[in-house]
Amino acid sequence: MNLSVRLLRVHAATFVVTVAGDLDLYSAPLLSPLLAPPPGPGPRHIVLDAARLIFCDVAGARLLTSTHQILKETGGGLVIAGAPGSLRRLTALVAGHPADAPAHHADVPEALRACAGPGGEDVSPYAPRHLPSFRGLGAGRGAPTGARVRRRT
């Protein structure tokens, strides 16, 4: 199965990335640029909505933990919402230490509240409708460079 990705900017420094399908050795390098910290000073937060993620291997977990570490250096971080138990265990194993693993939350609104922190910006009007979509990430499993990317509005 392919990986479907939707990206939504909720606030100037907060993004929700919704993934569905398989996050594996072939699709992780294609997802990596979307998880790169956006330019600009200050903390950046990414909420990964993993509720529809079917499969994640070690390469996908490494991508998530390394993205979290990069964002953590600027005071931000990557948090995972709606992850199955297997992804929670895998990210903890790959991180090596519980403090280095991304935090997990039950759903996206809870994760957004955690990113805002006490006295933070209000990011409650999260609406997962009308999101840009990149479908076909990971198509052509033998050659990730030949993947099709289709934008949906």
Instruction: For the chain, state the CA radius of gyration.
Output: 15
pLDDT at res. 117 = 66
By DSSP bridging, strand 3-11 and strand 133-137 are antiparallel
Cβ neighbours around 41 below 10 Å, total: 7
Cβ neighbours around 152 below 10 Å, total: 11
For residues 143 and 138, give the distance between their C-alpha atoms in angstroms, rounded to a whole number.
Answer: 9
For residues 87 and 108, give the distance between their C-alpha atoms in angstroms, rounded to a whole number.
Answer: 16
- 68 touches 37 (CB < 8 A): no
In terms of pTM, does the model score above 0.85?
A: no
Cβ neighbours around 31 below 10 Å, total: 21
| Chain centroid offset of residue 25 CA | 16
Q: Which of 81, 82, 102 is nearest to 93 (CA)?
A: 102
pLDDT at res. 80 = 96
| Chain centroid offset of residue 135 CA | 15
Q: Which residue stretches of the chain have pLDDT < 70?
A: 1, 38, 117-153
pLDDT at res. 133 = 52
